[in-house]
Amino acid sequence: MSELALLDPLLAAIPEQAGILPWRRREAGFPGLLRGLCGQMISNQAATAIWVRLSALPGALSPDGLLALSDEALRQAGLSRPKLRHARALAEAFADGRLSAEGLAALSDEAAVAAIAAIPGFGPWTASVYLLFGLDRKDIFPVGDLALAASLAALRGLPERPSPRELAALAEAWRPWRSMAARLLWHHWRHVTGRPAGESIA
Protein backbone atom coordinates (compact mmCIF):
# COMPACT_ATOMS: atom_id res chain seq x y z
CA MET A 1 0.00 0.00 0.00
CA SER A 2 2.81 2.43 0.82
CA GLU A 3 4.35 1.99 -2.63
CA LEU A 4 1.01 2.64 -4.32
CA ALA A 5 0.43 5.68 -2.11
CA LEU A 6 3.49 7.28 -3.64
CA LEU A 7 2.10 6.63 -7.12
CA ASP A 8 -1.47 7.76 -6.44
CA PRO A 9 -2.44 9.39 -3.11
CA LEU A 10 -6.13 9.39 -4.12
CA LEU A 11 -6.18 5.61 -4.26
CA ALA A 12 -4.32 5.30 -0.99
CA ALA A 13 -6.90 7.52 0.72
CA ILE A 14 -9.84 5.27 -0.18
CA PRO A 15 -9.81 3.25 3.08
CA GLU A 16 -10.15 6.48 5.07
CA GLN A 17 -13.57 7.00 3.45
CA ALA A 18 -14.69 3.47 2.66
CA GLY A 19 -13.27 1.61 5.66
CA ILE A 20 -10.75 -1.19 5.95
CA LEU A 21 -10.13 -2.96 2.66
CA PRO A 22 -11.46 -6.55 2.85
CA TRP A 23 -8.94 -9.00 1.42
CA ARG A 24 -11.06 -11.29 -0.71
CA ARG A 25 -9.76 -14.56 -2.10
CA ARG A 26 -11.10 -17.30 -4.36
CA GLU A 27 -10.15 -20.94 -4.41
CA ALA A 28 -7.50 -21.74 -6.98
CA GLY A 29 -8.00 -24.25 -9.79
CA PHE A 30 -11.25 -25.57 -11.17
CA PRO A 31 -13.63 -24.23 -8.46
CA GLY A 32 -12.28 -20.70 -8.74
CA LEU A 33 -12.63 -20.57 -12.51
CA LEU A 34 -16.08 -22.17 -12.35
CA ARG A 35 -17.19 -19.48 -9.94
CA GLY A 36 -15.85 -16.83 -12.30
CA LEU A 37 -17.94 -18.32 -15.09
CA CYS A 38 -21.05 -18.13 -12.92
CA GLY A 39 -20.51 -14.40 -12.41
CA GLN A 40 -20.18 -13.41 -16.06
CA MET A 41 -22.68 -10.85 -17.37
CA ILE A 42 -25.15 -11.08 -14.47
CA SER A 43 -25.67 -9.27 -11.17
CA ASN A 44 -23.68 -10.22 -8.10
CA GLN A 45 -26.84 -11.33 -6.34
CA ALA A 46 -27.82 -13.65 -9.18
CA ALA A 47 -24.27 -15.01 -9.46
CA THR A 48 -24.15 -15.79 -5.74
CA ALA A 49 -27.49 -17.60 -5.90
CA ILE A 50 -26.30 -19.73 -8.82
CA TRP A 51 -23.03 -20.53 -7.09
CA VAL A 52 -24.79 -21.63 -3.89
CA ARG A 53 -27.04 -24.00 -5.83
CA LEU A 54 -24.25 -25.28 -8.05
CA SER A 55 -21.78 -25.91 -5.25
CA ALA A 56 -24.46 -27.88 -3.38
CA LEU A 57 -24.63 -30.47 -6.20
CA PRO A 58 -22.60 -33.57 -5.29
CA GLY A 59 -19.30 -33.51 -7.19
CA ALA A 60 -19.94 -30.23 -8.99
CA LEU A 61 -16.71 -28.62 -7.78
CA SER A 62 -14.47 -31.27 -9.29
CA PRO A 63 -13.95 -31.71 -13.05
CA ASP A 64 -14.97 -35.38 -13.18
CA GLY A 65 -17.88 -34.75 -10.84
CA LEU A 66 -19.27 -31.93 -12.93
CA LEU A 67 -18.94 -33.96 -16.12
CA ALA A 68 -20.95 -36.73 -14.48
CA LEU A 69 -23.86 -34.40 -13.70
CA SER A 70 -26.79 -34.20 -16.10
CA ASP A 71 -27.54 -31.09 -18.13
CA GLU A 72 -30.86 -30.89 -16.33
CA ALA A 73 -29.19 -30.77 -12.91
CA LEU A 74 -26.87 -27.99 -14.04
CA ARG A 75 -29.71 -26.02 -15.60
CA GLN A 76 -31.73 -26.32 -12.40
CA ALA A 77 -28.77 -24.89 -10.53
CA GLY A 78 -29.10 -21.82 -12.76
CA LEU A 79 -26.58 -22.30 -15.54
CA SER A 80 -27.79 -21.04 -18.90
CA ARG A 81 -27.23 -23.29 -21.90
CA PRO A 82 -24.10 -21.37 -22.99
CA LYS A 83 -22.65 -21.40 -19.46
CA LEU A 84 -23.45 -25.09 -19.17
CA ARG A 85 -21.41 -25.77 -22.30
CA HIS A 86 -18.59 -23.58 -21.05
CA ALA A 87 -18.59 -25.26 -17.63
CA ARG A 88 -18.24 -28.65 -19.31
CA ALA A 89 -15.45 -27.30 -21.54
CA LEU A 90 -13.63 -26.09 -18.43
CA ALA A 91 -14.11 -29.43 -16.68
CA GLU A 92 -12.79 -31.28 -19.74
CA ALA A 93 -9.70 -29.04 -19.84
CA PHE A 94 -8.90 -29.87 -16.22
CA ALA A 95 -9.79 -33.55 -16.63
CA ASP A 96 -7.48 -34.04 -19.62
CA GLY A 97 -4.64 -32.00 -18.15
CA ARG A 98 -4.71 -28.96 -20.41
CA LEU A 99 -5.32 -26.88 -17.28
CA SER A 100 -4.35 -27.47 -13.66
CA ALA A 101 -4.12 -25.30 -10.57
CA GLU A 102 -0.39 -26.00 -10.33
CA GLY A 103 0.21 -25.42 -14.01
CA LEU A 104 -1.55 -22.07 -14.04
CA ALA A 105 0.29 -20.97 -10.92
CA ALA A 106 3.61 -21.71 -12.63
CA LEU A 107 2.85 -19.60 -15.70
CA SER A 108 3.53 -15.91 -16.19
CA ASP A 109 0.55 -13.57 -15.99
CA GLU A 110 0.30 -13.29 -19.77
CA ALA A 111 0.64 -17.04 -20.36
CA ALA A 112 -1.91 -17.88 -17.66
CA VAL A 113 -4.45 -15.45 -19.12
CA ALA A 114 -3.90 -16.94 -22.59
CA ALA A 115 -4.30 -20.51 -21.30
CA ILE A 116 -7.57 -19.72 -19.55
CA ALA A 117 -8.91 -17.62 -22.43
CA ALA A 118 -8.34 -20.57 -24.78
CA ILE A 119 -11.29 -22.34 -23.10
CA PRO A 120 -14.65 -21.49 -24.73
CA GLY A 121 -16.51 -18.91 -22.70
CA PHE A 122 -13.47 -17.68 -20.77
CA GLY A 123 -12.12 -14.32 -21.84
CA PRO A 124 -9.43 -12.00 -20.48
CA TRP A 125 -11.74 -10.54 -17.80
CA THR A 126 -12.51 -13.90 -16.18
CA ALA A 127 -8.87 -14.96 -16.49
CA SER A 128 -7.63 -11.72 -14.94
CA VAL A 129 -10.07 -11.93 -12.03
CA TYR A 130 -8.89 -15.50 -11.40
CA LEU A 131 -5.25 -14.44 -11.32
CA LEU A 132 -6.05 -11.56 -9.00
CA PHE A 133 -8.25 -13.37 -6.48
CA GLY A 134 -7.25 -17.00 -6.97
CA LEU A 135 -3.49 -16.65 -7.38
CA ASP A 136 -2.97 -13.31 -5.61
CA ARG A 137 -0.91 -11.94 -8.50
CA LYS A 138 0.36 -8.43 -7.80
CA ASP A 139 0.04 -6.62 -11.12
CA ILE A 140 -3.33 -7.60 -12.62
CA PHE A 141 -5.93 -5.08 -13.77
CA PRO A 142 -9.14 -6.27 -15.54
CA VAL A 143 -9.47 -3.34 -17.92
CA GLY A 144 -12.89 -4.43 -19.19
CA ASP A 145 -14.48 -4.21 -15.75
CA LEU A 146 -17.27 -1.62 -15.69
CA ALA A 147 -17.13 -1.16 -11.92
CA LEU A 148 -13.44 -0.27 -12.06
CA ALA A 149 -14.10 2.29 -14.79
CA ALA A 150 -17.06 3.78 -12.91
CA SER A 151 -15.12 3.90 -9.66
CA LEU A 152 -12.18 5.71 -11.19
CA ALA A 153 -14.52 8.20 -12.86
CA ALA A 154 -16.18 8.90 -9.51
CA LEU A 155 -12.86 9.13 -7.66
CA ARG A 156 -11.31 11.59 -10.09
CA GLY A 157 -14.45 13.45 -11.09
CA LEU A 158 -14.19 12.41 -14.73
CA PRO A 159 -17.09 13.43 -17.00
CA GLU A 160 -17.66 9.82 -18.09
CA ARG A 161 -16.36 6.33 -17.53
CA PRO A 162 -13.06 5.66 -19.29
CA SER A 163 -13.16 3.09 -22.08
CA PRO A 164 -11.21 -0.16 -21.61
CA ARG A 165 -8.38 1.27 -23.71
CA GLU A 166 -8.36 4.48 -21.66
CA LEU A 167 -8.57 2.54 -18.41
CA ALA A 168 -5.61 0.37 -19.44
CA ALA A 169 -3.57 3.49 -20.17
CA LEU A 170 -4.50 5.10 -16.85
CA ALA A 171 -3.67 1.90 -14.94
CA GLU A 172 -0.13 1.92 -16.32
CA ALA A 173 0.70 4.54 -13.71
CA TRP A 174 0.07 1.96 -10.97
CA ARG A 175 2.54 -0.69 -12.14
CA PRO A 176 3.65 -2.95 -10.52
CA TRP A 177 0.79 -2.66 -8.01
CA ARG A 178 -2.23 -2.72 -10.30
CA SER A 179 -3.92 -5.54 -8.36
CA MET A 180 -3.98 -3.41 -5.23
CA ALA A 181 -5.28 -0.49 -7.29
CA ALA A 182 -8.10 -2.69 -8.60
CA ARG A 183 -8.99 -3.89 -5.10
CA LEU A 184 -9.11 -0.31 -3.85
CA LEU A 185 -11.25 0.87 -6.75
CA TRP A 186 -13.75 -1.97 -6.22
CA HIS A 187 -13.80 -1.09 -2.52
CA HIS A 188 -14.43 2.55 -3.40
CA TRP A 189 -17.27 1.59 -5.74
CA ARG A 190 -18.94 -0.52 -3.03
CA HIS A 191 -18.77 2.51 -0.78
CA VAL A 192 -20.08 4.92 -3.42
CA THR A 193 -22.98 2.65 -4.38
CA GLY A 194 -23.84 1.64 -0.83
CA ARG A 195 -23.07 -2.06 -1.19
CA PRO A 196 -22.11 -3.99 1.96
CA ALA A 197 -18.35 -4.11 2.51
CA GLY A 198 -18.21 -7.88 2.15
CA GLU A 199 -20.15 -8.04 -1.10
CA SER A 200 -18.23 -9.13 -4.15
CA ILE A 201 -18.17 -6.96 -7.27
CA ALA A 202 -15.73 -8.90 -9.41
Taken in order 126, 132, 137, 141, the sign of the CA dihedral is: positive
Q: Give the architecture-level CATH label for domain 2-23+141-193.
A: Orthogonal Bundle (1.10)
Average pLDDT over residues 54-74: 98
Instruction: Select from 61, 44, 43, 26 the least CA-distant residue to 140.
Output: 26
- What is the average pLDDT score of the chain? 93
With 0.85 as the threshold, say if the pTM is over it.
yes
| pLDDT band for position 196 (cuts 50, 70, 90) | low
Q: What is the DSSP letter of 21?
A: P
The percentage of residues in the chain with a pLDDT greater than 90, rounded to a whole number, is 87
Per-domain residue ranges of the chain: 2-23+141-193, 30-133
User: For the domain 30-133, what is the CATH code?
Assistant: 1.10.340.30
Average pLDDT over residues 123-127: 93
Report the distance separating Cα 63 and Cα 70, nearest Å: 13
Per-residue pLDDT reduced to its tens digit, 133-178: 999 999 999 999 999 999 999 999 999 999 999 999 999 999 999 9
φ/ψ (deg, to 5) at 173: -65, -15
Same CATH topology for 2-23+141-193 and 30-133: the answer is no
Average pLDDT over residues 112-117: 97
Question: According to the model, what pLDDT value does residue 202 have?
Answer: 52
CB 21 within 8 A of CB 201: no
